[in-house]
Chain A
């Protein structure tokens, strides 16, 4: 077993065992294990199959940088096993291998002659014949790729949220430098947010045995009031907004100052077989040792370009790993090849004396120097250059408001550097005092840089299997071939070979591939530069970026009832509404002959209240509202400054200072906004409250509506006590309601408004009370047919942005003869001065055919002159009825018109009065 005896400071709790499955087989782990460490301790060495050749890939970085250990976890693809805690009951499966990781049929690709899959092969092969590309694409998709998404939305149980946060200082990275920066800035009073990817704060302190210091700093940060986002990746900076992915939450953080403490990325070495399982970065081997007390191998070769590798060798030796050889590039040593069948068995190397030897080993620890993780700083606008002495990229300039700390800045003294950056960030916000400023100056002293030899390139191209890019399976030879084919610039070589374009986004491969391009072109590393850093800096599920929809679907409080009772649900604006319950004709007949109940909770419902509420409404509406008696209702249209119809609804005066205003379903939000906009300017003593979501409303209509209501209402609903257009507050089936007597469908009707919490009870109790009288629920479709018979307009369907009240036959609702100013006064006065050119009237088609909405009304000469806006069969009046805009000259009552609908010609007769109950005797009954 590779698990060691308990060690001080280890990150696992051996008293708490957890178990998960990998490819169906149980894996035992301790709390504090990652999925990868548990699998490693259980003896697994192959973690995935590579992108192109399906080669075995093992745990390589073990620190969340490379793509070698990507797995499916509970159906989510692309999860880094080395960063995901081993949770009890998790279902983990491998990616990109069939039928299994150990036996992968596609691994045959690795044994084909290399000409079979040349660099850029997808640009060269599979392109002819062109029509077969969809087939090729499907095959290639299956052969490559990184896991599979669940096929249907229902299987994607993952939900995501947005969270917004404004802070003074955002610290990216929770290692020694980041923590020190956060503590320093928070200590001066700054509001500090710190985001860190790790399972635990502390970064490399934890890997290098300094657990106590890490926990001490984390505690200090907590005490200083730093808000810590753990297991959270800063994805990138977008227009100054930092996107941070933390589980299912995308934090959108706007920070006045940024401290980048993103650390450094340990680089690999190039040699033949450098991707074999058993080749591991020194940081990974140390992390397994320090956090999970796992010995990464029994007998190791350590190859390095700097002291980091030597320190690792010492730590591994102390843990009982036999160190077979140490290859220090600074002394002239180098690795020629790692060999073995399923993992490292032998290492061929040149030692410091120039002697070629083959050493047996099951672990090859490599350390090719540190590359500062400049990605986020570069996105913010930082510029970097190449430092030959340190053999790494270094920052040349930083944009305003940005600071760096720790090894990303090339600093060795992470805590000093972090404290300096945190103080500087706080000082730039105007915080701090002379003492803290003196401290910042004292800290800002240069520290000597460690001398790191540039990582050696293989002398030849390192053989067939010397990989510059693990994610995309790009070898050194591939890059050299690309350069020979003319892709000499790093950016072009990247696009051609796809090097650095895999999930690691260049963390592991950018430095080495730039060096290969530099050598192949003869330009040298510093001329080649680096590719542009773009977000996202780490992998992120698209769902996390998408978040929740900004405009959620709206459902009535009794939506479930509609669905359970056969409601055919359709969208109307944001709303999901029942169009009918299976038989719209029967529903309409029930309303006409007995009674029907419809859910009209979608109506906008506003309360306008205050000493000047009446004056506010008088100014907003073209009609006079303040003359409305208490307990009375009025139909009202709303117009804009251009005198065109915006909305309509009913207004009921509840008391001297309170008006209850309904709007159309889709116009509610706009009406609230519109009312408040004018109110803001006028400053009248009145408030506008939107009750649309809190209240439900039902319309009970039909000849037997009163009788049904009387049986359950605790108020007098007789024709004398509750007249047409009256509004009353009362209790119905125990529910407090506002009842309005309106002619919604043209029948005797009552509209009941109640708290949404009581809606289902009221709805069901009414249906039960009316069951013996033949009451049934009806949907939007029969409602529209009934309303059309009454020539009631549907704003937005029968009207458009050019419709005036006069043209729509609603001139009676406009009151121009008044003193006070009101919205649209001038335009309406202008429009009232002349007969409208175009008017909205009803028509009856001779015959049973229905024109469609949008059909054309022809003039005497057969030219298009008007337009049908709605047409339905009349449930009460019979026949094919409709409404249309047409020139006033054609629209006399009783006139004959011709309607053309996609070639069909229909004859129709104009009607300027309703088809049903033109005198309104029924609604008043």
Chain B
């Protein structure tokens, strides 16, 4: 497997430079019910298609950013700085 991600600071780098941080998940606001909490902590959508996800430039600048990647083809459509990790 090999593809390129564009780090917003460093530019395009091989995927092996980065650590995958998983899907972007909305952090609950206010007091979540136990059901909402468990869904937030344990459940992921695991989509077959384009998803918004977290990446960490481990062997580079050490920045977290977000990407939109097609999980079927590994094509990365967009990368950019992150907002609140709790919110999209």
Contact = CB atoms under 8 A, between A and B. Distances in A.
Nearest to A677: B64
A238 B2 contact: yes
A823 to B, nearest CB: 10
A803 to B, nearest CB: 15
Interface string B1-35: 11110000000111010010100000010011010
Interface string A623-642: 00000000000000000011
Contact of B62 (A254, A676, A682): A676
A193 to B, nearest CB: 15
Contacts of B19: 673
Given A164-B14, A238-B2, A677 B85 contact: yes
A252 B3 CA distance: 12
B4 A680 contact: no
Contact of A550 (B2, B16, B63): B16
B41 A830 contact: no
B62 A680 contact: no
A382 B30 CA distance: 58
Contact of A678 (B32, B56, B85): B85
Interface in A677-699: 677-678, 680-683, 690
Interface in A151-168: 164, 166
B42 A680 contact: no
Interface SS of chain A = mixed
Interface string A160-189: 000010100000000000000000000000
A550 B56 CA distance: 16
Contacts of A641: 40-41
Contacts of A254: 4, 12, 14
A257 to B, nearest CB: 15
Contacts of B64: 676-677, 680
A239 B1 contact: yes
B13 to A, nearest CB: 8
A296 to B, nearest CB: 44
Interface in A690-742: 690
Contact of B14 (A252, A680, A682, A683): A252
A680 B63 CA distance: 8
Interface string A241-281: 10000000000101000000000000000000000000000
A524 interface: no
A457 B10 CA distance: 58
Nearest to B19: A673
B2 A241 contact: yes
Nearest to B1: A239
A677 B54 contact: yes
Contact of A681 (B16, B28, B31, B82): B82
Contacts of A241: 2, 14
A677 to B, nearest CB: 5
A122 interface: no
Given A676-B64, A677-B85, A830 B34 contact: yes
B56 A676 contact: yes
A827 interface: yes
Most central of A254, A690, A826 by chain B CB within 10 Å: A826
- Residue in B1, B3, B64 with the greatest tally of chain A CB atoms within 10 Å: B64
Contacts of A678: 85
A240 B19 CA distance: 21
Contacts of A238: 2
B28 A826 contact: yes
B36 to A, nearest CB: 9
B54 to A, nearest CB: 7
Given A677-B21, A677-B85, A678-B85, 7 more contacts: A239-B1, A241-B14, A641-B41, A673-B58, A681-B82, A682-B85, A826-B37
Interface of B: 1-4, 12-14, 16, 19, 21, 28, 31-32, 34, 37, 40-42, 54, 56, 58, 62-64, 82-87
5 contacts: A677-B21, A677-B85, A681-B85, A681-B87, A827-B41
